[in-house]
Amino acid sequence: MTPGPTFKELFCLHRKFLLFNLIARNLKIRYRKSFLGMVWTVLIPAGTACIYFVIFNFVFQVRIPNYPLFILSGLIPWTFFNTSVISSIESLVGNFQLLNKVPLPTPSLPLSETMTQFLNLILSLPILLVAMLILHVPLAWPALQYPILIGFLFLITYAIGLALSLLYVYFRDLKHLVALIMQFWFYLTPVMYSEQMVPERFRTLLNINPLSSIFLGFHAALVDGEWLPLEKWLYIGVWTLILVLASKALLSKLSHSINETL
């Protein structure tokens, strides 16, 4: 007979159950009264990719091999990042009554938002396989980098979302500022273009962007079938560590006064 669970184990299970409930609630709210429901998770990135393909391929004359796959390989992760960050900002303020009623760890709320969008990301990934089949792009070994890069993007996304949700408790204009920043950030990140298309004098902006190497890796993994250089991996690792530690430090500093401010 195995020993019964300890109080600590039960508490951890309780937290996990609450997290799963939060994710389920987020999905239910998002797709409430929707006829197609979670099918929109696939339709939205596919439709958006078609629009960008027409604009960049026919209007701006971008000439990148297998450009539809190029767009999708970057746009799907970007949609996860953008939607997660935006939805995480109000996760604490919007659920202050829940925080007062349930002994829920503060990071659980922004984490539930990130996990919800991560589930949508996972459901969108088959589009990439379909695009590769249509375009006759082989699934080579470098494609193994893609899920690893997704893991790094998840950590960065959660760290940023957590930090912003904490700051939003004290600065309510932050939501509008972040919405504006995210628009600039999209074009500063190589989602729709390759590194070679960026003029040399603007490469510095690309290099200081913590997401640049990750998205270059997405394209390298699926479109180019190449391994991301080691220095890019080091850059990704350093940025991830910095952002995770910074969000943790901010949580330690502000967590004790959040309930009073809310």
Cα separation, 190 vs 61, in Å, equals 17
Instruction: Answer whether residue 2 is part of any domain.
Output: no
Ramachandran assignment for 37, one of left (phi > 0), alpha (psi -120 to 50 degrees), beta (any other): left
Token code pair at residue 39: 């099918």
Instruction: Answer whether residue 1 is part of any domain.
Output: no
At 31 the pLDDT is 65
pTM above threshold 0.85? yes
Task: Report pLDDT digits (tens) over 33-57.
Answer: 666 666 667 777 777 777 877 777 7
Cα separation, 203 vs 227, in Å, equals 21
Token code pair at residue 242: 């910095």
Instruction: Answer whether residue 162 is part of any domain.
Output: yes
Higher local confidence (pLDDT), 34 or 218: 218
If pLDDT is split at 50, 70 and 90, which confidence band does 13 have? very low
Instruction: Answer whether residue 45 is part of any domain.
Output: yes
For 6, other C-beta atoms within 10 Å of its C-beta total 9
If pLDDT is split at 50, 70 and 90, which confidence band does 109 have? confident
For 180, other C-beta atoms within 10 Å of its C-beta total 9
Cα separation, 5 vs 14, in Å, equals 12
Measuring CA to CA, which residue among 149, 139, 1 is closest to residue 78? 149
Q: Answer yes or no: is pLDDT of 240 > 60.
A: yes
Instruction: Answer whether residue 81 is part of any domain.
Output: yes
Tell me the residue range of the domain where 39 lies. Answer: 7-261
Cα separation, 168 vs 92, in Å, equals 8
3-state class (DSSP) for residue 228: coil
Cα separation, 80 vs 77, in Å, equals 5
Q: Answer yes or no: is pLDDT of 81 > 50.
A: yes
Instruction: Answer whether residue 182 is part of any domain.
Output: yes
Measuring CA to CA, which residue among 80, 64, 83, 81 is closest to residue 220? 64
Q: Answer yes or no: is pLDDT of 8 > 70.
A: no
DSSP code of residue 209: -
| Average pLDDT, rounded, for the chain | 84
Whether residue 196 contacts residue 203, with contact meaning beta carbons closer than 8 Å, is answered with no
Instruction: Answer whether residue 249 is part of any domain.
Output: yes
For 103-115, what is the mean pLDDT? Answer: 84
**Crossing angle (nearest 10°) for helices 108-124 and 7-30:** 60
Cα separation, 113 vs 89, in Å, equals 9
Cα separation, 26 vs 87, in Å, equals 10
Cα separation, 45 vs 120, in Å, equals 11
Instruction: Answer whether residue 119 is part of any domain.
Output: yes
Cα separation, 212 vs 214, in Å, equals 5
Measuring CA to CA, which residue among 176, 129, 182, 188 is closest to residue 160? 182
For 217-240, what is the mean pLDDT? Answer: 96
Of 9-13, 143-147, 202-206, 207-211, the least confident: 9-13
Domain count, the chain: 1
Cα separation, 248 vs 246, in Å, equals 5
Higher local confidence (pLDDT), 58 or 163: 163
Task: Report pLDDT digits (tens) over 116-143.
Answer: 999 989 989 999 999 999 999 999 999 9
For 152-170, what is the mean pLDDT? Answer: 95
For 3-21, what is the mean pLDDT? Answer: 51
